[in-house]
Structures are given as C-alpha cells and as structure tokens.
Chains A and B, each alone.
Chain A
C-alpha cells in the first residue's frame, strides 16, 4: 500500500495542470483546489485508482462564488482528501460524477435543488428533498435566500 507522501506526490505530478492550490492542513486532512473542468478526471482517479471511499460532497455559497467540496477518505493511510472547486455564482455548472460512480447520485441531486448548481450529464435529475410546491429557482442554501412562503407559521404555534 502506498504511504501518505506517495499518494500526495502522485497526485501532484499527475494532475500538475489541474491543481490550483494544495493545503496540507493536518496529518489527517488535505484540501486540494482543482479547476472545475478537471473534476471528473481527478475525482474518478481518486475513487478508482486510489481506492478511496466517497464520503460526501458539500456545496457552500461563499458569496463571491459557489464552492463544492468533494470529500474522499483513504482508510489505509487515514487521510481525508477534500477536492475543492470554485464555480461562478451567476451560472454554476459542473460535470456530473454520477457516470463514474453511483455514490454521488443523490448528493448531486440535493445540491442542484438546494444551491442551484447544474450538473451536466446527470442521468436522473429530479427533486430529492424539497416539496413539489417549492418554486423553481429558489435555492434555500444560498445566502440571499428569502422566505417565499408568506403564510408559513413562524411563532410558537400558540
């Protein structure tokens, strides 16, 4: 099995042009920022060749841009690699990873409805969590989200 140094070095040489920034935060955590267009290549390499487990992706609205972090854990070296991509806030579009492995299917659906990120090539893009009457184009996890349902009960219900 490879060691932590080998894995990181391997990633750095293999994806020299794709990596924007690499933050070695602690022995167990590495944050790697990559270009959005290379997500499928880097993501599937980590998942398939490095035999990582896909933990989850978390989308963040960071006001100036929208960020997605794909967390992968490599159990054999006790390391968690978080791939960070930064997307344009006006029109966040990224390639879907679902074609590579099934574990991202649901979380991509969730992010597209909560944050309005478009995943190109997702096979079954439909609502996962929000109710049917939720209006299109209203994304609850955006920072500029405003209550659209004026009749919602917000007091103690008494």
Chain B
C-alpha cells in the first residue's frame, strides 16, 4: 500500500510556533499522525523555582505571548490559595477586565489566522485591524499591548487611570459594529460552511476521555468553563452566558469563539461600569509552607497551576499546565480519517498544499516515483472539475 509521510514543521511558517506534525497519509486520507513538541521547552518550571514569588510572575507571564494574563492569573490564584486570602474587590475587577480584553483579542487573532489558513485573507485583514483597537485598549489600561505586568500575588500592581476609561469604552463600542458584520460574513458564508462543517469532529465522549478544555470542549457540547464552574474574580458578579454548541466540528469552534467575543465585550463593559473603589493590593509579605492550586479559563481553555511553598520566598515546586497540553492530543481523534486539505485547518496550521507539495511524493512499494509537481497540479485541477460537476456548479 502506498503510504507517505508528510512532515509539518518543526517550525510552523504560519502559527510561528515550533512543533512538528508527522502525518501518515494513504492517498489523500490521513491514517496516522504523530506530534513532537518540546522544541521550545524553556524549563520555566525550573526557572520559576529560582525566582521569588513576586518575580516569578514575570517569568510566568512570558510562557505565552498571546494569553499573557492567563498564566499569571492562575499563578497568583495558586499563591493566594496557599495562604489562603481573598484579594480586594477592585483588584478582582481589574483582573477580570484585563483577562477579558485579552480573550477578545486572542479570539480575534485566532479568527484572523483561521481565515488566513483557509485562504480567506479578507477576514484576516479585517480581524487584525479590529484587534489593533483592542490591543490599544490593553495599552491604555496596562501600559503595554501584551505582557501586561499587572498581576501580583495579593492584588494588582498598578491601578487604572480613571481619565482613560471614556476612551477605552469608546474604543470597545467602536468595534462592535465591525464584529457584527464579521459574524454575519463568517456565519453566512457558503464557502466557509462547505469547508468547515462536519470537519474534524470531536465527539463528546472523546472530549471527556482526553479531558479537553475551553472552546474545543464547548464546541462539542461539554459545558465546562472554570469561570462558571468555580467562579473567581468578578465572574460571579457579572451576568454572562457560557456558549456551548453541539456538533464539535471546526465550524462550531469558530461559532463558539465568535460568540464568546460578544460575551467578553459584555463582561468588560459591565466590569468597567461597576468598578468598585478601594485597595488594589494586600501587600503580602510572607507565604507560609503549604500547597495551592489556581486555575483560570484562558482563551484556549483552563490554565492550571500548582504551587508548593516551603516557607521561603521561592516556590519549592511550580507546575504549569497550559490548556493546549490537554487539547493537542485530541488531534489524533480529529485528524485521522480526514483528507490532508482538511487536516490543515483542523490542526489550525497552514495549508500544506503550498509548503508540502515539493516535499511530498507518493511512492509505491518499489519506490518508483509516481507523481511529480506538475502531475499534482493536474490532479488537483481534475478534482476541482469533478467536484464542480458533482455539486452542480457551472
């Protein structure tokens, strides 16, 4: 049987992350796959043990460049669980606002990239222009577009400048019409329907078996969200809905993310309107010996931190679990059985037709080369014509 192996990576041209997928394909169907990670293993858990509790926040913040609130949020909650303390109300609201603005820009970023993977670059440009506004909001509120440096065990480091709030609200309101239009454009687009519906289905049982998280789980009808299940910050004081869809395909994951953007906008606006006064920091000086666990619903799912303190000012053990660690193995359940062209969007990677064609060659048992580049172009043209006929298109 003619099986060939398509390597994607070790450096993703589009996701810009080092990871290495090996797809074993039979014809066009993926029959097996393997993921190699660890190219970017920076030893942050070890590094964090060498920094004080206060300094470790900044190392933790740099685990992820996109969701740079989620890890410090979970980390500070873990440290507060060791003591245990409750942070002041204002700090809770500030944390929530930052976390939700981040969720907006993170979902928008993913949406733009997804459009880019599919070759729908209009979405990519639209969404990334929109995302700039949200990044501006982050810059106004915290002083930077990313890596907000605002989290601290026991509270937040800096307060908002209340003079900036009207500008922030104006900017957030300004993006709503565009998001509306985007929602219509994405959810009503027949091409996207054709490409995304029924693709890469992750069933409810698989979600539970793999303990998948976040939008990946919610798109499959598993209503799990740390913000609702174990409320923290200001999430239990604000009215918002958990978005759950049932199908578990790629299209539903898009829907969940688009609709969650609206919920996040709602949370940010309510939190800003209800922002209480008072202290922002508890000025924690000593961390007693003990253990603590903190979790936060990051844009990609639950971030989980476990801290063990031995009474010194450094963590004795710090375990970090990013949501992708649980979500990545589900690729094995979603990709196998799909064709290569769908594998790309399921893996949320680049379209491999472009970068892999020259690397791939179908070989039969004797090792004789069957298809070259021009042959593949011809094959794909024939396939397009056949599909057009089948769909009854002119």
Q: Which residues of A pack against B, CB within 8 Å?
A: 26, 28-29, 31, 51, 53-56, 58, 60-61, 69, 71, 73, 75, 78, 80, 82, 101-103, 105-107, 127-131, 140-141
Smallest CB gap from B306: residue in A: A58
B230 in contact with A28 (CB, 8 Å): yes
Dominant secondary structure at the B interface: mixed
Q: Which residues of chain A are within 8 angstroms of B293 by Cβ–Cβ distance?
A: 29, 71, 80, 82
Q: Bound complex: CA of A31 vs CA of B306, how far in Å?
A: 13
Q: Determine whether the beta carbon of B319 is less than 8 Å from that of A58.
A: yes
Query: Quick check: is B131 within 8 A (CB to CB) of the other chain?
Result: no
Nearest chain B CB to A34 CB, angstrom units: 16
- Contacting B230 at CB < 8 Å: which of A78, A129, A131? A78
Contact between B211 and A131 (Cβ–Cβ < 8 Å)? no
CB nearest to B224 among chain A residues = A75
Whole-angstrom distance between the Cβ of A96 and the nearest chain B Cβ: 15
Judge whether B325 and A106 touch: CB under 8 Å.
Answer: yes
Cα-based distance from A45 to B9 in the complex (angstroms): 39
Inter-chain CA distance A75–B321, complex, in Å, is 18
Q: Which residues of B contact A127 (CB under 8 A)?
A: 38
Point out which of A31, A56, A102, A107 has the most chain B C-beta atoms below 10 A from its C-beta.
Answer: A56
What distance in Å separates the Cβ of B297 from its nearest Cβ neighbour in chain A? 12
Quick one: CB contact mask for B309-331 with A, threshold 8 Å, 1 for yes?
A: 00000001101010001101100
The minimal Cβ–Cβ distance linking B48 to chain A, given in whole angstroms, is 11
B308 CB to nearest A CB, Å = 6
CA distance A130 to B42 in the complex (A): 10
Query: Chain A residues with Cβ under 8 A from B317's Cβ?
Result: 58, 60-61
Complex contacts, B302 vs chain A, CB 8 Å: 55
Within 8 A of A (CB), among B119-157: none
- B84: which A residues are within 8 A, CB to CB? 26
Asked whether B37 is an interface residue with its Cβ less than 8 Å from the other chain, the reply is yes
Query: B41's contact among A51, A78, A129, by CB below 8 Å, is which?
Result: A129
CB-CB under 8 A for A55 and B304, given A60-B317, A103-B210 = yes
With A75-B229, A82-B293, A106-B329 as known contacts, state yes or no: A55 contacts B211, CB within 8 Å. yes
B335 CB, min distance to chain A CBs, angstroms: 15
Chain A nearest Cβ from B207, distance in angstroms: 10
Count of chain B residues with a beta carbon within 8 Å of a chain A beta carbon: 30
Report yes or no: A103 in contact with B43, Cβ–Cβ below 8 A.
no
Pick the most buried of A53, A75, A101: most chain B CB atoms within 10 A of its CB.
A53
A residues in contact with B32, CB < 8 Å: none
Q: Which residues of B contact A103 (CB under 8 A)?
A: 209-211, 326, 329
Q: Is B45 a contact of A129 with CB atoms below 8 Å?
A: no
CB-CB under 8 A from A73, the residues of chain B are 229-230, 295
Q: Is B171 an interface residue (CB 8 A)?
A: no
Is there a chain A Cβ closer than 8 Å to B291's Cβ? yes
Q: Given the known A-B contacts A75-B229, A78-B229, are A128 and B38 also in contact in the complex, defined by CB atoms under 8 Å? A: yes
Specify the chain B residue showing the minimal Cβ separation from A28: B230
B326 → A minimal CB distance (Å) = 6
Bound CA–CA A78/B37 (angstroms): 32
Indicate if the CB atoms of B38 and A129 lie closer than 8 Å.
Answer: yes
Q: Which residues of A contact B316 (CB under 8 A)?
A: 60
Expressed in whole angstroms, the Cα–Cα distance for A128 and B20 within the complex equals: 12
A101 to B210, CA, bound (A): 7
Instruction: Enumerate the 5 nearest inter-chain pairs by beta-carbon distance, A residue then B residue, closest first.
Output: A58-B319, A103-B211, A129-B38, A56-B321, A75-B229
Task: Flag if A69 contacts B325 (CB, 8 Å).
Answer: no
23 residue pairs A–B, Cβ–Cβ below 8 Å: A28-B230, A29-B81, A51-B208, A55-B302, A55-B321, A56-B319, A56-B321, A69-B306, A75-B224, A75-B229, A78-B229, A78-B230, A80-B230, A82-B293, A103-B326, A103-B329, A105-B329, A106-B329, A107-B321, A128-B37, A129-B37, A130-B38, A141-B45
Question: Shortest Cβ distance from A9 into chain B, in angstroms?
Answer: 22
User: Whole-angstrom distance between the alpha carbons of A61 and B308 in the complex?
Assistant: 11
Complex contact B329–A102 (CB within 8 A)? yes
Q: Could you tell me the distance between the alpha carbons of A80 and B292 in the complex, rounded to whole angstroms?
A: 11
A78 nearest CB across to chain B (Å):
5
Determine how close the nearest CB of chain B comes to the CB of A41; give it in whole angstroms: 18
Q: B12 at the A/B interface (Cβ < 8 Å)?
A: no
Nearest chain B CB to A106's CB is how many angstroms away? 6
Q: How far is the CB of A61 from chain B (nearest CB, A)?
A: 8
Does B46 interact with chain A (Cβ within 8 Å)? Answer: yes
A54 touches B37 (CB 8 A): no
- Given A53-B211, A58-B317, A140-B43, 16 more A-B residue pairs with CB atoms under 8 Å apart are A29-B81, A29-B293, A53-B208, A55-B295, A56-B306, A56-B319, A56-B321, A75-B224, A103-B211, A103-B329, A106-B328, A107-B325, A127-B38, A131-B41, A140-B46, A141-B45
